[in-house]
């Protein structure tokens, strides 16, 4: 079955062939999970996103158009689900901040924080600054950096124009340079 294209496997999945699902999962589960993890920044949340995406893939199999771009479609499902998770987490954080829900949080003491390696602190700082970017800029930047896509591929993946992708990437890089340059 490994010689079949993704579209052929989706067609078989639509007819109830579980081996087709197993083959698709084997081919793409790692990519989808990795992409979700880079977007949401948390492995447990990424696993939930990935599981939701695979459920959507199974449910959508009968209506899948078979356009030859299964992985781009799966990445779009992943991106959309990840953005929903990010938005919901931001709403929860805002609700906790308003409600003063910090009681009972385990906060490391100063000595523990000072023990951290400087490079790890810088990596964390970059991650934090990336997390502060608007959703579209963050998705464009993370996808472009981690998936090795061209501007054209990224534009198709994000369902936007090449000029919009270039603009998003330019603004994201400029924002990061400004934020990271202030403390350096």
Separation between Cα atoms, residue 142 and residue 137, nearest integer Å: 8
Summarize pLDDT for 38-52 with one digit per residue, the tens: 888 889 899 999 999
Question: What contacts 53, CB < 8 A, 6 or more positions away?
Answer: 32, 36, 74, 77, 78, 81
Least confident of 9-13, 111-115, 163-167, 169-173: 111-115
Query: What's residue 112's pLDDT?
Result: 47
Query: What's residue 123's pLDDT?
Result: 63
Out of 77, 106, 135, pick the residue that ends a domain: 106
Out of 75, 106, 137, pick the residue that ends a domain: 106
Query: What CA–CA distances, in Å, run from 51 to 44, 77, 88, 153, 179?
Result: 11, 11, 17, 25, 35
Query: What's residue 99's pLDDT?
Result: 52
Structure token pair of residue 22: 């197993």
Query: What's residue 151's pLDDT?
Result: 87
Q: Are residues 16 and 89 in the same domain?
A: yes
Whether 139 is covered by a domain: the verdict is: yes
Out of 57, 81, 106, pick the residue that ends a domain: 106
The count of structural domains within the chain is 2
Position 179 pLDDT exceeds 60: yes
Q: 25 falls in which pLDDT band (50, 70, 90)?
A: very high
Global model pTM greater than 0.85: no
Q: What is the CATH number of the domain that holds 146?
A: 1.10.10.10
Q: Are residues 55 and 82 in the same domain?
A: yes
Residue ranges making up the domain that contains 67: 1-106
Is residue 131 within 8 Å of residue 83, measured between CB atoms? Answer: no
Position 110 pLDDT exceeds 70: no
Q: 120 falls in which pLDDT band (50, 70, 90)?
A: low
Summarize pLDDT for 63-95 with one digit per residue, the tens: 988 776 888 889 889 988 888 888 776 665 555
């Amino acid at each position: 079955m490994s010689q079949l294209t993704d579209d052929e496997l989706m067609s078989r999945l639509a007819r109830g062939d579980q081996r087709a699902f197993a083959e698709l999962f084997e081919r793409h589960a790692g990519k989808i999970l990795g992409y979700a993890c880079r977007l949401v920044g948390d492995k447990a949340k990424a696993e939930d996103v990935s599981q939701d995406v695979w459920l959507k893939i199974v449910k959508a199999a009968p209506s899948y158009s078979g356009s030859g771009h299964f992985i781009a479609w799966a990445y779009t499902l992943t991106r959309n689900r990840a953005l929903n998770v990010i938005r919901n987490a931001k709403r929860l954080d805002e609700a906790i901040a308003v409600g003063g829900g910090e009681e009972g949080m385990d906060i490391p003491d100063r000595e523990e924080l000072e023990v951290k390696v400087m490079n790890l602190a810088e990596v964390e700082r970059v991650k934090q600054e990336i997390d502060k970017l608007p959703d579209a800029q963050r998705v464009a930047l993370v996808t472009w950096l981690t998936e090795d896509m061209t501007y054209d591929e990224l534009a198709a993946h994000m369902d936007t124009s090449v000029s919009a992708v270039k603009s998003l990437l330019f603004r994201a890089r400029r924002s990061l340079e400004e934020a990271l340059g202030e403390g350096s």
